[in-house]
Amino acid sequence: RAGARGAAMEPECRVLSIQSHVVRGYVGNKAATFPLQVLGFEVDTVNSVQFSNHTGYAHWKGQVLNSDELHELYEGLKLNKVNRYDYVLTGYTRDTSFLAMVVDIVQELKQQNSNLVYVCDPVMGDKWNGEGSMYVPKDLLPVYRDKVVPVADIITPNQFEAELLTGRKIYTEKDALEVMDMLHAMGPETVVITSSDLQAPQGNDYLIALGSHRKTKADGTRITQRIRMESPKVDAVFVGTGDLFAAMLLAWTHKHPNNLKVACEKTVSAMQHVLQRTIKSAKVQAGEGNKPNSAQLELRMVQSKKDIENPEIIVKATVL
């Protein structure tokens, strides 16, 4: 009996997540760990920074991990022979030597396990009122483009980041598909442009995300699945949403390896549930007619446990 029960258990799946940590709130590892654990993954976290809270508040204090310290932590895992991972997940980084060290670690882990999947959110900047600007040092771009993206398997840039990585602007959906093809050619087999300023067929109240999954079959032929998603815009500035998105995409692509449509529908629907719950709660806290502040807009992560675990599909993807 015990044997039969044991056979039903899923094999352990372990993620090394190298991201920022905040004492209060949900960004970086704080936004990624809980959803991954709820969805059944073992998560080992390296905190690239430890701050009191995210930097959108009026004040923040804390420490930053440098590349030597990152290497030292990794060496400890290696000495104990516990450096075998199924996934690596990375997000916001400000330092080129730290990013280069991450690449070294990913390459070494891929030698240990050739099936390792590296999920990278290449966080560099965003667009405000149509104008893109970088919020990390400019010298990170060549490191992402030439070193990180080539070893990544899944990347989740926004439109501006996809444009930076390929050097090509996106004005139409056709441009976006071509940019995703350029990104595939750089290495990753899954590319999701998490947000764009493309016109949504459903109208201006919707945000378009696009996904592309390219697989090479045993006989060498390539098949590409492409999808478009339109999610209702939520009128507030949330922090940590990209980190949550990348973590859930990792989980759902693991559970639906050959179905980007379903993986993205579950990811984006869960995001919507979390954001709707967060904005509702923030408005109540702020009081009638007041704009919610950073603390009130922290993602309602724990309260959304059921939605993260088993999201009701409220955003459908269109296969292109």
Q: Give the active site residues.
A: 243
d(CA 300, CA 279): 9
CA dihedral 310, 226, 91, 172 (to 10 degrees): -130
Q: Are 193 and 166 in contact (CB under 8 A)?
A: no
What is the rounded CA–CA span in Å between residue 20 and residue 28?
5
Residue 298 neighbours by CB distance under 10 Å: 24
- Strand-strand pairing, 206-216 and 222-232: antiparallel
Task: Note whether 136 and 148 are within 8 A (CB).
Answer: no
Identify the helix (H) or strand (E) that includes residue 8.
helix 2-8
Q: How much of the chain is helix, strand and coil, in % rounded to 5?
A: 40, 20, 35
Nearest to 278 by CA among 304, 259, 260: 304
User: Smallest Cα–Cα separation from 72: which of 93, 30, 101?
Assistant: 101
Can you say how many angstroms the Cα of residue 214 is from the centroid of all Cα atoms in its chain?
Answer: 18
Place of tokens 């579950």: 266
